[in-house]
Amino acid sequence: MKLTEATKANILFRGDLVKRKDISILVLSNLTVNLFQEAILFQLYTNGFNPDITFGDYNAIVTDSKKAKDYDVVIVIWDLSNLIEFLPFKLSRMDNEEINKVQQQIFSQFDIVFENLNRASLAIVTEFSTVPFNNYSITKNAIDHFADILNRELTKRANKSTFLIDIDKIYSTLGSSQSVDYRFYNQFKALHKFDFFYKLSDKVATIINSLNGNIKKVLVLDCDNTLWNGVVGEDDYTGIRLSSNEKEGVPFYLVHEIIHSLYNKGVLLCLNSKNNIKDVEEVFSKREDFKLNSDWFIIKKVNWTDKASNLRDIALELNVGLDSLIFVDDSEYEINLVRKELPFVKCYQVPKKLYTYPELFLELSNEFFNPNLTTEDSNKTKQYIQENKRKNLKSESTNIESYLESLGLKIKYFINEKNHIERISQMTQKTNQFNFTTKRYTTTDIENFMSQESKCVISYSVSDNFGDYGITGLTIIDTEINEIDTFLMSCRIIGRNIEKAIFNILINQFKHNSHSFLLNHIYSKKNLVLEEVVNNLLLTADNKDEIKTTYSISFALMKPFQINYIEIQA
């Protein structure tokens, strides 16, 4: 992406009529970073945001950080070279006493800045790098050690809503010459080229995406020449190459390691391959050097149906949007077909130069960036297997009521449970379908809510005879303004009348509060299912417009729902 291309695209984005999510961003830097604006605008526009970006004054990070709490996101681009003017060139002649004095001066700045950043919903800070002014050193020197100390201090001060970006990885990808412009640095303190800012903005957008629910959930893989080298139907399971002991198998073996890591982080794995299922299963069962387990793949569309149709079925069976899927295939024809038929599915083609295949997989792994890994994430595959057992039971039941009664449902509620903060934050960021307001909150936001007397954060865990769904429901009640700020449930527990059980809990908790609580259904493309839920809860709209519907709920007057098959536990 060139600067001119990004600028032209941004002009078109500003003029189109597509509805995007508003987001306010404050950018602070001790360098001139004007080129960053077009890069981050492009990344956020293409990911469905309508960004309003404010740049702080040049080299005024400390004073401008006081504004952090007024923005959705604060980005700090801090550079070693301008903490003190030309610092990298001065360090080598300083004695230990002088270096220590400079460090303490910088640490004092850190204290002020992070005190302010830690009040923000989300802060993203670049770590310090010595590459631009120390790239030709043969061994680690005083500048490197100084930067290491500063980065450790950044880590100490950052809370869970502050993310540190290692920009050395950008330098290693682009190279110093493609990242740095010394001429503009000397004249205007504009150190970085547009290419650097484009890579940086990609990392920033990945974090913002994840914390706003735009996260990929499912990795769908072809088999032949994707999971292994060769065609199993022709080469037999003995003839394909997939292990570290085979020259042509090494890239695939490394990809398997990355897939295994993604599986451990809760990414759902599926197969979508034109093959005979018997041939594919033989690879899993008979190749002892194949390190992936057949049971990790919760859906196997191994057939001769077109791959776009298979992907539609996978999304339907998992109850996720097509935009939650990533598809990997070696065939240009199949990739182009899916891109044409299903533009919301992100596709990656296996590269012709197979030695670059692991690098491609490392890149696509960022699509599943999950900053707050929880127990629910690591148990996802297990939970979907349990759900298949429930579906089998449902097909054997004569009606929905008898099915729900046979499940043995239990719901347990927790009020301001600090051990659930990460999971609560994650649910606000990832839940789209059953989410009345789709407000996205960081762990800092949830901690703040729990510390306020007027806020009541109630998390809900659900289980049944087949297993534990985990923490899958949330209500945030604001008693000061009498509003249900957040009401959401994981799609895994939809269709079981859990929402009625949650309302019964709220009726019991607030039966002595004579006020009516407002609940807004703020429309999104994905939460239209709530219209049926509202009918199920017998809610009547007070006001309705093109943006939202508002309901007024009096828990003191509301009668509990009769759902004897759900046991409520405090």
- Distance, in Å, from the CA atom of 382 to the CA atom of 293, rounded to the nearest integer, reads 13
Question: What's the average model confidence in pLDDT over 217-221?
Answer: 96
User: Is residue 335's pLDDT more than 70?
Assistant: yes
More confident residue, 51 or 396: 51
Q: pLDDT band for 374, please (50, 70, 90 cuts).
A: confident
Span 545-561, pLDDT tens digits? 989 999 999 999 999 99
Span 345-359, pLDDT tens digits? 999 999 999 999 999
pLDDT at residue 153, as a whole number: 97
User: Is residue 373's pLDDT more than 80?
Assistant: no
The least confident of 52-61, 70-79, 371-380, 485-494 is 371-380
Within 8 A by CB and 6+ apart from 145, the residues are none
pLDDT at residue 391, as a whole number: 82
- Distance, in Å, from the CA atom of 233 to the CA atom of 239, rounded to the nearest integer, reads 10
More confident residue, 336 or 379: 336
Angle at 496 between CA 494 and CA 498, to 5 degrees: 80
Measured in whole angstroms, the distance separating CA 16 from the mean position of its chain's CA atoms is: 26
User: Is residue 398's pLDDT more than 90?
Assistant: no
Question: What's the average model confidence in pLDDT over 463-485?
Answer: 95
Question: What's the average model confidence in pLDDT over 288-308?
Answer: 95
Contact 38, 70 (CB under 8 A): no
- Distance, in Å, from the CA atom of 407 to the CA atom of 504, rounded to the nearest integer, reads 19
Residue 87: strand, helix, or coil:
helix
Q: pLDDT band for 570, please (50, 70, 90 cuts).
A: confident
Q: Which of 314, 293, 295 is nearest to 303 (CA)?
A: 314
Phi, psi of 25, rounded to the nearest 5 degrees: -130, 135
519, with CB counted inside 10 A (0-12, 13-18, 19+), is: buried
User: Is residue 269's pLDDT more than 70?
Assistant: yes
Within 8 A by CB and 6+ apart from 268, the residues are 217, 218, 219, 298, 318, 380, 381, 384
**Can you point out the beta strands (E) in 18-150?**
21-29, 49-55, 73-77, 123-126
pLDDT at residue 136, as a whole number: 82
- Intra-chain end-to-end CA distance of the chain, in Å: 54
pLDDT at residue 471, as a whole number: 95
CA 104 vs CA 97, 111, 139, 161, 217: distances in Å: 11, 10, 26, 25, 44
pLDDT at residue 212, as a whole number: 83
Within 8 A by CB and 6+ apart from 280, the residues are 223, 232, 271, 273, 300, 302
> What percent of the chain clears pLDDT 70, i.e. is strictly above it?
100
Question: What's the average model confidence in pLDDT over 31-56?
Answer: 95
Phi-psi region of 482 (alpha: psi -120 to 50; beta: other; left: phi over 0): left
Provide the mean pLDDT of the chain: 93
User: Is residue 18's pLDDT more than 80?
Assistant: no
Q: pLDDT band for 17, please (50, 70, 90 cuts).
A: low
Question: What's the average model confidence in pLDDT over 196-200?
Answer: 97
- Distance, in Å, from the CA atom of 439 to the CA atom of 488, rounded to the nearest integer, reads 10
Question: What's the average model confidence in pLDDT over 314-340?
Answer: 94
The encoded tokens of residue 27 equal 């950018």
CA 44 vs CA 9, 14, 76: distances in Å: 12, 12, 17
Q: pLDDT band for 524, please (50, 70, 90 cuts).
A: confident
Span 130-178, pLDDT tens digits? 999 988 888 888 899 999 999 999 999 999 889 999 999 999 999 999 9
Question: What's the average model confidence in pLDDT over 272-276?
Answer: 96
pTM, two decimals, is 0.79
Span 174-193, pLDDT tens digits? 999 999 999 999 999 999 99
